[in-house]
Structure 1
Amino acid sequence: MRLADKVILVTGSCTGIGKAIARRCVQEGARVVLHGLETEWGEAVREELGADKSVLVIADLQDEATPALLVRTALDTFGRLDAVVNNAAWVASSNIHTTTPAFFRQMLEVNTLSAFFLIQEALPHLKERRGAVLNIGSVNAWCGEPDLLAYSVSKGALMTLTRNLGDALFREEGVRVNQINPGWVLTEKEIQRKQEHGMPVNWYELLPPEYAPSRRILDPAEIAAAAIYWLADESGPVSGQVVELEQYPVIGRNPPKK
Protein backbone atom coordinates (compact mmCIF):
# COMPACT_ATOMS: atom_id res chain seq x y z
CA MET A 1 0.00 0.00 0.00
CA ARG A 2 1.33 3.39 -1.01
CA LEU A 3 0.31 5.23 2.19
CA ALA A 4 0.72 2.45 4.74
CA ASP A 5 0.54 3.74 8.34
CA LYS A 6 0.46 7.40 7.35
CA VAL A 7 -1.95 9.84 9.00
CA ILE A 8 -3.39 12.42 6.62
CA LEU A 9 -5.55 15.43 7.40
CA VAL A 10 -7.95 16.38 4.59
CA THR A 11 -9.94 19.59 4.91
CA GLY A 12 -13.31 19.79 3.23
CA SER A 13 -13.60 16.02 3.13
CA CYS A 14 -17.29 15.59 3.86
CA THR A 15 -18.08 15.96 0.15
CA GLY A 16 -16.61 16.09 -3.33
CA ILE A 17 -12.89 16.01 -4.04
CA GLY A 18 -11.93 15.94 -0.36
CA LYS A 19 -14.16 12.95 0.32
CA ALA A 20 -12.70 11.12 -2.68
CA ILE A 21 -9.15 11.87 -1.49
CA ALA A 22 -9.91 10.65 2.04
CA ARG A 23 -11.49 7.48 0.67
CA ARG A 24 -8.50 6.76 -1.58
CA CYS A 25 -6.04 7.47 1.25
CA VAL A 26 -7.71 4.82 3.41
CA GLN A 27 -7.68 2.38 0.49
CA GLU A 28 -3.93 2.97 0.27
CA GLY A 29 -3.39 2.16 3.96
CA ALA A 30 -3.64 5.57 5.64
CA ARG A 31 -5.75 6.84 8.49
CA VAL A 32 -7.47 10.17 7.95
CA VAL A 33 -8.76 13.19 9.80
CA LEU A 34 -11.98 14.23 8.08
CA HIS A 35 -13.11 17.83 8.22
CA GLY A 36 -16.01 19.94 7.01
CA LEU A 37 -19.12 21.87 7.93
CA GLU A 38 -21.74 19.26 7.01
CA THR A 39 -22.23 17.02 10.05
CA GLU A 40 -24.59 14.52 8.45
CA TRP A 41 -22.44 14.07 5.36
CA GLY A 42 -19.29 13.88 7.45
CA GLU A 43 -20.71 11.19 9.70
CA ALA A 44 -21.65 9.17 6.62
CA VAL A 45 -18.08 9.34 5.32
CA ARG A 46 -16.68 8.38 8.72
CA GLU A 47 -19.04 5.40 8.91
CA GLU A 48 -17.99 4.31 5.42
CA LEU A 49 -14.27 4.52 6.20
CA GLY A 50 -14.50 3.08 9.69
CA ALA A 51 -13.87 4.49 13.16
CA ASP A 52 -10.46 2.82 13.30
CA LYS A 53 -9.39 4.54 10.10
CA SER A 54 -10.97 7.98 10.43
CA VAL A 55 -12.02 10.72 12.80
CA LEU A 56 -14.32 13.65 12.01
CA VAL A 57 -13.94 17.31 12.98
CA ILE A 58 -16.77 19.72 12.22
CA ALA A 59 -15.28 23.20 12.36
CA ASP A 60 -15.16 26.49 10.46
CA LEU A 61 -11.75 27.28 8.96
CA GLN A 62 -12.43 30.97 9.56
CA ASP A 63 -12.22 30.27 13.29
CA GLU A 64 -8.66 30.95 14.48
CA ALA A 65 -8.84 27.93 16.78
CA THR A 66 -9.58 25.44 13.99
CA PRO A 67 -6.01 24.72 12.79
CA ALA A 68 -4.91 23.77 16.31
CA LEU A 69 -8.05 21.67 16.78
CA LEU A 70 -7.42 19.73 13.58
CA VAL A 71 -3.77 19.04 14.33
CA ARG A 72 -4.50 18.11 17.95
CA THR A 73 -7.21 15.70 16.82
CA ALA A 74 -4.75 13.92 14.53
CA LEU A 75 -2.19 13.58 17.30
CA ASP A 76 -4.66 12.60 20.03
CA THR A 77 -6.41 10.03 17.82
CA PHE A 78 -3.57 8.53 15.80
CA GLY A 79 -0.39 9.77 17.46
CA ARG A 80 1.18 11.39 14.41
CA LEU A 81 0.60 13.57 11.35
CA ASP A 82 2.28 12.80 8.04
CA ALA A 83 0.47 15.03 5.54
CA VAL A 84 -2.04 17.83 5.15
CA VAL A 85 -4.37 18.21 2.18
CA ASN A 86 -5.76 21.74 1.95
CA ASN A 87 -8.86 20.99 -0.07
CA ALA A 88 -11.63 23.02 1.57
CA ALA A 89 -12.80 25.94 -0.55
CA TRP A 90 -15.64 28.35 -1.01
CA VAL A 91 -16.81 28.59 -4.62
CA ALA A 92 -18.99 31.63 -5.23
CA SER A 93 -19.60 33.89 -8.20
CA SER A 94 -18.47 37.51 -8.29
CA ASN A 95 -17.08 40.03 -10.75
CA ILE A 96 -15.63 43.54 -10.73
CA HIS A 97 -19.08 45.01 -10.14
CA THR A 98 -20.40 42.65 -7.48
CA THR A 99 -17.33 41.92 -5.33
CA THR A 100 -17.67 43.68 -2.00
CA PRO A 101 -14.85 44.14 0.53
CA ALA A 102 -16.45 41.70 2.97
CA PHE A 103 -16.98 39.08 0.26
CA PHE A 104 -13.40 39.34 -1.01
CA ARG A 105 -11.93 39.09 2.49
CA GLN A 106 -14.01 36.02 3.27
CA MET A 107 -12.98 34.35 0.02
CA LEU A 108 -9.30 34.88 0.81
CA GLU A 109 -9.81 33.78 4.40
CA VAL A 110 -11.38 30.46 3.45
CA ASN A 111 -9.45 29.60 0.30
CA THR A 112 -5.97 30.96 1.01
CA LEU A 113 -5.30 32.12 4.55
CA SER A 114 -6.80 29.03 6.20
CA ALA A 115 -4.40 26.84 4.21
CA PHE A 116 -1.43 28.91 5.33
CA PHE A 117 -2.39 28.84 9.00
CA LEU A 118 -3.03 25.09 8.94
CA ILE A 119 0.40 24.48 7.40
CA GLN A 120 1.90 26.75 10.03
CA GLU A 121 0.22 24.82 12.85
CA ALA A 122 1.08 21.40 11.42
CA LEU A 123 4.66 22.20 10.47
CA PRO A 124 6.48 20.90 13.59
CA HIS A 125 4.77 17.53 13.22
CA LEU A 126 5.22 17.36 9.46
CA LYS A 127 8.91 18.15 9.95
CA GLU A 128 9.21 15.25 12.37
CA ARG A 129 7.81 12.86 9.74
CA ARG A 130 9.47 14.57 6.74
CA GLY A 131 5.91 14.84 5.55
CA ALA A 132 3.99 16.58 2.80
CA VAL A 133 1.42 19.25 2.06
CA LEU A 134 -0.86 19.01 -0.94
CA ASN A 135 -2.88 22.09 -1.81
CA ILE A 136 -5.93 21.68 -4.03
CA GLY A 137 -6.22 24.73 -6.24
CA SER A 138 -8.01 25.34 -9.52
CA VAL A 139 -7.16 25.99 -13.15
CA ASN A 140 -8.85 29.33 -12.48
CA ALA A 141 -5.68 30.29 -10.60
CA TRP A 142 -4.14 31.34 -13.93
CA CYS A 143 -6.75 34.00 -14.73
CA GLY A 144 -10.23 32.65 -14.09
CA GLU A 145 -13.64 33.35 -15.51
CA PRO A 146 -15.10 36.88 -15.41
CA ASP A 147 -17.73 35.81 -12.88
CA LEU A 148 -15.28 33.94 -10.67
CA LEU A 149 -13.08 36.94 -9.90
CA ALA A 150 -12.54 36.66 -6.15
CA TYR A 151 -12.40 32.86 -6.25
CA SER A 152 -9.78 32.93 -9.01
CA VAL A 153 -7.63 35.44 -7.13
CA SER A 154 -7.77 33.27 -4.01
CA LYS A 155 -6.58 30.24 -5.97
CA GLY A 156 -3.84 32.27 -7.65
CA ALA A 157 -2.62 33.32 -4.22
CA LEU A 158 -2.71 29.69 -3.08
CA MET A 159 -0.54 28.74 -6.05
CA THR A 160 2.06 31.37 -5.10
CA LEU A 161 1.96 30.08 -1.53
CA THR A 162 2.67 26.58 -2.81
CA ARG A 163 5.62 27.72 -4.91
CA ASN A 164 7.07 29.77 -2.06
CA LEU A 165 6.68 27.20 0.71
CA GLY A 166 7.56 24.34 -1.62
CA ASP A 167 11.04 25.82 -1.78
CA ALA A 168 11.42 27.28 1.70
CA LEU A 169 9.97 24.41 3.73
CA PHE A 170 11.75 21.67 1.84
CA ARG A 171 15.10 23.42 2.22
CA GLU A 172 14.62 24.25 5.89
CA GLU A 173 12.27 21.60 7.24
CA GLY A 174 12.30 18.70 4.79
CA VAL A 175 8.56 19.14 4.16
CA ARG A 176 7.35 18.95 0.56
CA VAL A 177 4.60 21.29 -0.64
CA ASN A 178 2.87 20.71 -3.99
CA GLN A 179 -0.43 21.58 -5.63
CA ILE A 180 -3.03 20.09 -7.94
CA ASN A 181 -5.14 22.48 -10.02
CA PRO A 182 -8.27 20.58 -11.05
CA GLY A 183 -10.42 21.68 -13.92
CA TRP A 184 -14.18 21.21 -13.95
CA VAL A 185 -15.11 18.42 -11.52
CA LEU A 186 -18.52 16.82 -11.01
CA THR A 187 -18.97 17.17 -7.26
CA GLU A 188 -22.24 17.14 -5.35
CA LYS A 189 -21.98 20.87 -4.74
CA GLU A 190 -21.19 21.63 -8.39
CA ILE A 191 -24.30 19.74 -9.48
CA GLN A 192 -26.32 21.77 -7.00
CA ARG A 193 -24.75 25.12 -7.98
CA LYS A 194 -25.50 24.70 -11.66
CA GLN A 195 -29.10 23.74 -10.94
CA GLU A 196 -29.42 26.88 -8.80
CA HIS A 197 -28.17 28.84 -11.83
CA GLY A 198 -31.10 27.55 -13.83
CA MET A 199 -29.50 24.63 -15.64
CA PRO A 200 -31.42 21.35 -16.03
CA VAL A 201 -31.03 18.50 -13.55
CA ASN A 202 -28.93 16.51 -16.04
CA TRP A 203 -26.82 19.47 -17.24
CA TYR A 204 -23.61 17.47 -16.95
CA GLU A 205 -24.88 15.06 -19.61
CA LEU A 206 -25.46 17.87 -22.12
CA LEU A 207 -22.05 19.53 -22.23
CA PRO A 208 -20.79 20.80 -25.61
CA PRO A 209 -17.32 19.68 -26.71
CA GLU A 210 -15.74 23.12 -26.24
CA TYR A 211 -16.27 22.69 -22.49
CA ALA A 212 -15.75 18.95 -22.29
CA PRO A 213 -14.04 17.30 -25.30
CA SER A 214 -14.68 13.90 -23.71
CA ARG A 215 -18.37 14.83 -23.30
CA ARG A 216 -18.03 14.57 -19.54
CA ILE A 217 -16.19 16.43 -16.80
CA LEU A 218 -13.75 15.06 -14.28
CA ASP A 219 -14.81 12.74 -11.48
CA PRO A 220 -13.57 13.41 -7.92
CA ALA A 221 -12.02 9.92 -7.85
CA GLU A 222 -9.77 10.93 -10.75
CA ILE A 223 -8.41 13.85 -8.74
CA ALA A 224 -7.96 11.57 -5.74
CA ALA A 225 -5.94 9.09 -7.80
CA ALA A 226 -3.52 11.85 -8.74
CA ALA A 227 -3.32 13.12 -5.16
CA ILE A 228 -1.87 9.85 -3.88
CA TYR A 229 1.40 10.33 -5.76
CA TRP A 230 2.08 13.61 -3.97
CA LEU A 231 1.25 12.18 -0.55
CA ALA A 232 3.27 9.00 -1.01
CA ASP A 233 7.01 8.61 -0.57
CA GLU A 234 7.32 7.72 -4.26
CA SER A 235 7.20 11.42 -5.21
CA GLY A 236 10.62 11.64 -3.55
CA PRO A 237 12.16 15.12 -3.25
CA VAL A 238 9.75 16.83 -5.68
CA SER A 239 8.47 20.06 -4.12
CA GLY A 240 7.04 23.41 -5.14
CA GLN A 241 5.23 21.98 -8.18
CA VAL A 242 1.78 22.78 -9.56
CA VAL A 243 0.04 20.30 -11.85
CA GLU A 244 -3.10 20.97 -13.88
CA LEU A 245 -5.66 18.18 -14.20
CA GLU A 246 -7.99 19.08 -17.04
CA GLN A 247 -8.93 17.56 -20.39
CA TYR A 248 -7.54 20.40 -22.49
CA PRO A 249 -4.58 22.82 -22.23
CA VAL A 250 -5.32 25.58 -19.79
CA ILE A 251 -2.87 28.08 -21.26
CA GLY A 252 -2.74 28.74 -24.99
CA ARG A 253 -5.72 26.56 -25.81
CA ASN A 254 -6.85 26.86 -29.41
CA PRO A 255 -10.47 27.95 -29.79
CA PRO A 256 -12.79 25.12 -30.88
CA LYS A 257 -13.39 24.84 -34.60
CA LYS A 258 -16.91 25.66 -35.76
Structure 2
Amino acid sequence: MRLKGKVIIVTGSTMGIGKAIAKKVVEEGAKVIIHGLEEDLGIQVVEEIGAEQAKLHIEDIVNEGAGQRLVDLAMATWGRLDAIVNNAALVAASTIHNTDKAFLNRILDINTFAPLFLIKSALPYLIESRGAVLNIGSINAWSGEDNLLAYSISKGALMTMTRNLGDSLFRENGVRVNQINPGWVLTEKEIERKKEHGLADSWYKELSKMYAPAGRIIWPEEIAAATIYWLSDESGPISGQVVDLEQFPMIGRNIPKDSTTIPHKKN
Protein backbone atom coordinates (compact mmCIF):
# COMPACT_ATOMS: atom_id res chain seq x y z
CA MET A 1 0.00 0.00 0.00
CA ARG A 2 1.55 3.25 -1.17
CA LEU A 3 -0.14 5.52 1.41
CA LYS A 4 -0.17 3.21 4.41
CA GLY A 5 -0.58 5.09 7.69
CA LYS A 6 -1.10 8.51 6.12
CA VAL A 7 -3.95 10.86 7.00
CA ILE A 8 -5.28 12.97 4.14
CA ILE A 9 -7.88 15.73 3.81
CA VAL A 10 -9.74 15.77 0.48
CA THR A 11 -11.97 18.79 -0.01
CA GLY A 12 -15.02 18.54 -2.24
CA SER A 13 -15.07 14.76 -1.85
CA THR A 14 -18.77 13.97 -1.55
CA MET A 15 -18.96 13.42 -5.33
CA GLY A 16 -17.01 13.48 -8.60
CA ILE A 17 -13.23 13.64 -8.72
CA GLY A 18 -12.95 14.27 -4.98
CA LYS A 19 -14.96 11.18 -4.12
CA ALA A 20 -12.85 9.07 -6.48
CA ILE A 21 -9.66 10.43 -4.88
CA ALA A 22 -10.95 9.75 -1.35
CA LYS A 23 -11.80 6.15 -2.22
CA LYS A 24 -8.46 5.63 -3.95
CA VAL A 25 -6.31 6.93 -1.09
CA VAL A 26 -8.11 4.61 1.32
CA GLU A 27 -7.48 1.68 -1.04
CA GLU A 28 -3.81 2.62 -0.77
CA GLY A 29 -3.87 2.51 3.03
CA ALA A 30 -4.69 6.09 4.09
CA LYS A 31 -7.31 7.54 6.43
CA VAL A 32 -9.34 10.36 4.92
CA ILE A 33 -11.39 13.40 5.89
CA ILE A 34 -14.38 13.67 3.55
CA HIS A 35 -15.60 17.21 2.96
CA GLY A 36 -18.35 18.86 0.98
CA LEU A 37 -21.75 20.52 1.07
CA GLU A 38 -24.02 17.52 0.45
CA GLU A 39 -24.48 15.68 3.75
CA ASP A 40 -26.50 12.81 2.28
CA LEU A 41 -23.86 12.15 -0.36
CA GLY A 42 -21.08 12.48 2.22
CA ILE A 43 -22.70 9.88 4.43
CA GLN A 44 -22.88 7.52 1.46
CA VAL A 45 -19.18 8.01 0.75
CA VAL A 46 -18.26 7.24 4.36
CA GLU A 47 -20.45 4.13 4.26
CA GLU A 48 -18.73 2.98 1.07
CA ILE A 49 -15.25 3.59 2.48
CA GLY A 50 -15.90 2.53 6.08
CA ALA A 51 -16.22 4.65 9.21
CA GLU A 52 -12.86 3.49 10.55
CA GLN A 53 -11.08 4.96 7.52
CA ALA A 54 -13.15 8.09 6.91
CA LYS A 55 -14.67 11.00 8.81
CA LEU A 56 -17.13 13.50 7.35
CA HIS A 57 -17.19 17.29 7.68
CA ILE A 58 -19.96 19.26 5.99
CA GLU A 59 -19.29 22.98 5.58
CA ASP A 60 -18.75 25.62 2.94
CA ILE A 61 -14.99 25.76 2.50
CA VAL A 62 -15.04 29.57 2.40
CA ASN A 63 -16.51 29.93 5.90
CA GLU A 64 -14.18 31.63 8.34
CA GLY A 65 -12.19 28.91 10.09
CA ALA A 66 -13.44 26.07 7.86
CA GLY A 67 -9.93 24.98 6.96
CA GLN A 68 -8.86 24.94 10.59
CA ARG A 69 -11.86 22.81 11.51
CA LEU A 70 -10.90 20.25 8.86
CA VAL A 71 -7.36 20.14 10.24
CA ASP A 72 -8.63 19.88 13.82
CA LEU A 73 -10.88 16.95 12.88
CA ALA A 74 -7.98 15.06 11.35
CA MET A 75 -5.78 15.68 14.38
CA ALA A 76 -8.50 14.84 16.91
CA THR A 77 -9.38 11.62 15.09
CA TRP A 78 -6.00 10.24 14.08
CA GLY A 79 -3.41 12.52 15.66
CA ARG A 80 -1.55 13.38 12.48
CA LEU A 81 -1.89 14.96 9.05
CA ASP A 82 0.20 13.94 6.05
CA ALA A 83 -1.43 15.50 3.01
CA ILE A 84 -4.10 17.83 1.67
CA VAL A 85 -5.92 17.52 -1.63
CA ASN A 86 -7.48 20.88 -2.54
CA ASN A 87 -10.23 19.67 -4.85
CA ALA A 88 -13.31 21.71 -3.88
CA ALA A 89 -14.19 24.15 -6.65
CA LEU A 90 -17.04 26.06 -8.22
CA VAL A 91 -17.42 25.84 -11.99
CA ALA A 92 -19.68 28.62 -13.26
CA ALA A 93 -20.02 30.13 -16.71
CA SER A 94 -19.08 33.78 -17.18
CA THR A 95 -17.67 36.21 -19.71
CA ILE A 96 -16.31 39.73 -19.39
CA HIS A 97 -19.83 41.00 -20.08
CA ASN A 98 -21.50 39.35 -17.08
CA THR A 99 -18.64 39.01 -14.57
CA ASP A 100 -18.96 41.51 -11.77
CA LYS A 101 -16.75 41.93 -8.71
CA ALA A 102 -19.00 39.97 -6.35
CA PHE A 103 -19.15 36.99 -8.72
CA LEU A 104 -15.40 36.98 -9.30
CA ASN A 105 -14.74 37.22 -5.57
CA ARG A 106 -17.02 34.22 -4.93
CA ILE A 107 -15.16 32.12 -7.51
CA LEU A 108 -11.76 33.17 -6.17
CA ASP A 109 -12.84 32.54 -2.57
CA ILE A 110 -13.66 28.91 -3.32
CA ASN A 111 -11.14 28.02 -6.00
CA THR A 112 -8.06 29.98 -4.91
CA PHE A 113 -8.26 31.57 -1.48
CA ALA A 114 -9.74 28.57 0.37
CA PRO A 115 -6.92 26.24 -0.77
CA LEU A 116 -4.33 28.78 0.37
CA PHE A 117 -5.80 29.15 3.85
CA LEU A 118 -6.31 25.41 4.28
CA ILE A 119 -2.61 24.95 3.53
CA LYS A 120 -1.81 27.65 6.07
CA SER A 121 -3.93 25.96 8.76
CA ALA A 122 -2.36 22.57 8.05
CA LEU A 123 1.22 23.75 7.70
CA PRO A 124 2.45 23.04 11.27
CA TYR A 125 1.36 19.41 10.96
CA LEU A 126 2.57 19.02 7.38
CA ILE A 127 5.98 20.27 8.50
CA GLU A 128 6.01 17.64 11.24
CA SER A 129 5.14 14.83 8.81
CA ARG A 130 7.13 16.28 5.90
CA GLY A 131 3.85 16.06 4.09
CA ALA A 132 2.43 17.03 0.73
CA VAL A 133 -0.19 19.28 -0.83
CA LEU A 134 -1.86 18.40 -4.11
CA ASN A 135 -3.96 21.11 -5.74
CA ILE A 136 -6.54 20.02 -8.30
CA GLY A 137 -6.55 22.66 -11.01
CA SER A 138 -7.83 22.60 -14.55
CA ILE A 139 -6.45 22.82 -18.06
CA ASN A 140 -8.50 26.03 -18.19
CA ALA A 141 -5.72 27.56 -16.09
CA TRP A 142 -3.76 28.10 -19.32
CA SER A 143 -6.40 30.35 -20.93
CA GLY A 144 -9.81 28.77 -20.55
CA GLU A 145 -12.94 28.50 -22.62
CA ASP A 146 -14.58 31.73 -23.75
CA ASN A 147 -17.48 31.27 -21.31
CA LEU A 148 -15.33 30.33 -18.28
CA LEU A 149 -13.57 33.62 -17.62
CA ALA A 150 -13.78 33.81 -13.81
CA TYR A 151 -13.18 30.09 -13.37
CA SER A 152 -10.12 30.23 -15.62
CA ILE A 153 -8.73 33.22 -13.72
CA SER A 154 -9.11 31.34 -10.45
CA LYS A 155 -7.38 28.22 -11.74
CA GLY A 156 -4.56 30.26 -13.28
CA ALA A 157 -4.02 31.90 -9.90
CA LEU A 158 -4.05 28.51 -8.20
CA MET A 159 -1.36 27.29 -10.59
CA THR A 160 0.89 30.25 -9.80
CA MET A 161 0.30 29.68 -6.09
CA THR A 162 1.32 26.03 -6.48
CA ARG A 163 4.59 26.95 -8.14
CA ASN A 164 5.31 29.65 -5.56
CA LEU A 165 4.56 27.54 -2.48
CA GLY A 166 6.07 24.45 -4.08
CA ASP A 167 9.38 26.29 -4.02
CA SER A 168 9.19 28.27 -0.78
CA LEU A 169 7.57 25.66 1.48
CA PHE A 170 9.81 22.86 0.31
CA ARG A 171 12.96 24.95 0.78
CA GLU A 172 11.89 26.17 4.21
CA ASN A 173 10.09 23.15 5.67
CA GLY A 174 10.26 20.15 3.35
CA VAL A 175 6.56 20.37 2.46
CA ARG A 176 5.92 19.52 -1.19
CA VAL A 177 3.23 21.35 -3.17
CA ASN A 178 2.22 20.12 -6.62
CA GLN A 179 -0.79 20.35 -8.93
CA ILE A 180 -2.60 18.31 -11.54
CA ASN A 181 -4.76 19.98 -14.18
CA PRO A 182 -7.54 17.61 -15.27
CA GLY A 183 -9.07 18.03 -18.67
CA TRP A 184 -12.65 17.04 -19.48
CA VAL A 185 -13.86 14.59 -16.82
CA LEU A 186 -17.15 12.67 -16.71
CA THR A 187 -18.43 13.70 -13.28
CA GLU A 188 -22.03 13.77 -12.13
CA LYS A 189 -22.07 17.55 -12.27
CA GLU A 190 -20.57 17.65 -15.75
CA ILE A 191 -23.25 15.31 -17.06
CA GLU A 192 -25.99 17.55 -15.67
CA ARG A 193 -24.24 20.78 -16.71
CA LYS A 194 -24.10 19.76 -20.35
CA LYS A 195 -27.73 18.62 -20.29
CA GLU A 196 -28.66 22.05 -18.94
CA HIS A 197 -26.80 23.54 -21.91
CA GLY A 198 -29.16 21.71 -24.25
CA LEU A 199 -27.22 18.55 -25.07
CA ALA A 200 -28.91 15.17 -25.30
CA ASP A 201 -29.05 12.93 -22.23
CA SER A 202 -26.49 10.65 -23.85
CA TRP A 203 -24.15 13.47 -24.98
CA TYR A 204 -21.07 11.82 -23.49
CA LYS A 205 -21.61 8.75 -25.67
CA GLU A 206 -21.53 10.73 -28.94
CA LEU A 207 -18.34 12.76 -28.75
CA SER A 208 -16.28 14.05 -31.64
CA LYS A 209 -12.63 13.00 -31.96
CA MET A 210 -11.90 16.72 -31.69
CA TYR A 211 -12.92 16.71 -28.04
CA ALA A 212 -12.17 13.10 -27.14
CA PRO A 213 -9.64 11.23 -29.29
CA ALA A 214 -10.30 8.12 -27.19
CA GLY A 215 -14.00 8.25 -28.02
CA ARG A 216 -14.85 9.12 -24.43
CA ILE A 217 -13.79 11.66 -21.83
CA ILE A 218 -11.77 10.97 -18.69
CA TRP A 219 -13.25 9.07 -15.76
CA PRO A 220 -12.84 10.43 -12.20
CA GLU A 221 -11.11 7.19 -11.22
CA GLU A 222 -8.39 7.87 -13.79
CA ILE A 223 -7.65 11.23 -12.21
CA ALA A 224 -7.69 9.61 -8.77
CA ALA A 225 -5.14 7.02 -9.84
CA ALA A 226 -2.77 9.80 -10.89
CA THR A 227 -2.93 11.50 -7.49
CA ILE A 228 -1.32 8.63 -5.59
CA TYR A 229 2.17 9.32 -6.91
CA TRP A 230 2.05 12.93 -5.72
CA LEU A 231 0.66 12.05 -2.29
CA SER A 232 3.06 9.17 -1.67
CA ASP A 233 6.74 9.20 -0.80
CA GLU A 234 7.46 7.92 -4.32
CA SER A 235 7.54 11.48 -5.67
CA GLY A 236 10.54 12.14 -3.43
CA PRO A 237 11.72 15.76 -3.53
CA ILE A 238 9.60 16.81 -6.52
CA SER A 239 7.76 20.05 -5.74
CA GLY A 240 6.29 23.08 -7.48
CA GLN A 241 5.20 21.06 -10.51
CA VAL A 242 2.01 21.26 -12.58
CA VAL A 243 0.94 18.32 -14.75
CA ASP A 244 -1.88 18.39 -17.32
CA LEU A 245 -4.08 15.30 -17.52
CA GLU A 246 -5.85 15.48 -20.85
CA GLN A 247 -6.09 13.37 -24.02
CA PHE A 248 -4.14 15.85 -26.13
CA PRO A 249 -1.33 18.38 -25.61
CA MET A 250 -2.38 21.84 -24.57
CA ILE A 251 0.38 23.39 -26.69
CA GLY A 252 1.20 22.39 -30.24
CA ARG A 253 -1.90 20.32 -30.83
CA ASN A 254 -2.85 19.34 -34.38
CA ILE A 255 -6.52 20.10 -35.01
CA PRO A 256 -8.29 17.01 -36.44
CA LYS A 257 -10.23 17.21 -39.69
CA ASP A 258 -13.56 16.67 -37.88
CA SER A 259 -13.01 19.71 -35.66
CA THR A 260 -16.36 21.19 -36.64
CA THR A 261 -18.27 18.22 -35.21
CA ILE A 262 -19.86 18.88 -31.80
CA PRO A 263 -21.95 16.66 -29.51
CA HIS A 264 -25.54 16.43 -30.70
CA LYS A 265 -27.91 18.96 -29.16
CA LYS A 266 -31.54 18.38 -28.34
CA ASN A 267 -33.94 19.50 -31.01
| Deviation per residue, 1:141-190 (Å, 9 max, x gap) | 00000100000010000000000000000000110000000000000110
Number of residue pairs matched by the alignment: 258
Name segments (4+ residues, structure 1) moved above 2 Å.
none
Query: TM-score, normalising length from structure 1?
Result: 0.99
Quote the Cα distance in structure 2 between the aligned partners of 1:64 and 1:256: 47
Quote the Cα distance in structure 1 between the aligned partners of 2:214 and 2:56: 36
Q: Does 1:47 align with 2:43?
A: no
Alignment of 1:233-252 (within 5 A): 233-252=233-252
Quote the Cα distance in structure 1 between the aligned partners of 2:45 and 2:209: 34
**1:254, distance to aligned residue in structure 2 (A):** 1.8
**1:198, distance to aligned residue in structure 2 (A):** 1.1
Quote the Cα distance in structure 1 between the aligned partners of 2:22 and 2:104: 29
Q: Which runs of 5+ in 2 are unaligned?
A: 259-267
Quote the Cα distance in structure 2 between the aligned partners of 1:254 and 1:149: 24
Computed over aligned residues only, the root mean square deviation of the Cα atoms, in angstroms, reads 0.6
| Deviation per residue, 1:65-97 (Å, 9 max, x gap) | 101100000000111100000000000000111
Quote the Cα distance in structure 1 between the aligned partners of 2:30 and 2:62: 27
Q: Does 1:257 align with 2:257?
A: yes
Alignment of 1:217-228 (within 5 A): 217-228=217-228
Moved more, 60-69 or 158-167: 60-69
Alignment of 1:23-172 (within 5 A): 23-172=23-172
Query: TM-score, normalising length from structure 2?
Result: 0.96
* SS of 2:34 mapped into structure 1: strand
Instruction: Please name the residue that 1:210 is paired with.
Output: 210
Counterpart AA for 1:115: P
- The percentage of aligned residue pairs carrying the same residue is 64
Quote the Cα distance in structure 2 between the aligned partners of 1:220 and 1:89: 15
**1:252, distance to aligned residue in structure 2 (A):** 2.2
Quote the Cα distance in structure 1 between the aligned partners of 2:215 and 2:51: 38
| Deviation per residue, 1:25-80 (Å, 9 max, x gap) | 00000000000001110000001101100000001011011011000000001111
**1:256, distance to aligned residue in structure 2 (A):** 1.5
Q: Which runs of 5+ in 1 are unaligned?
A: none
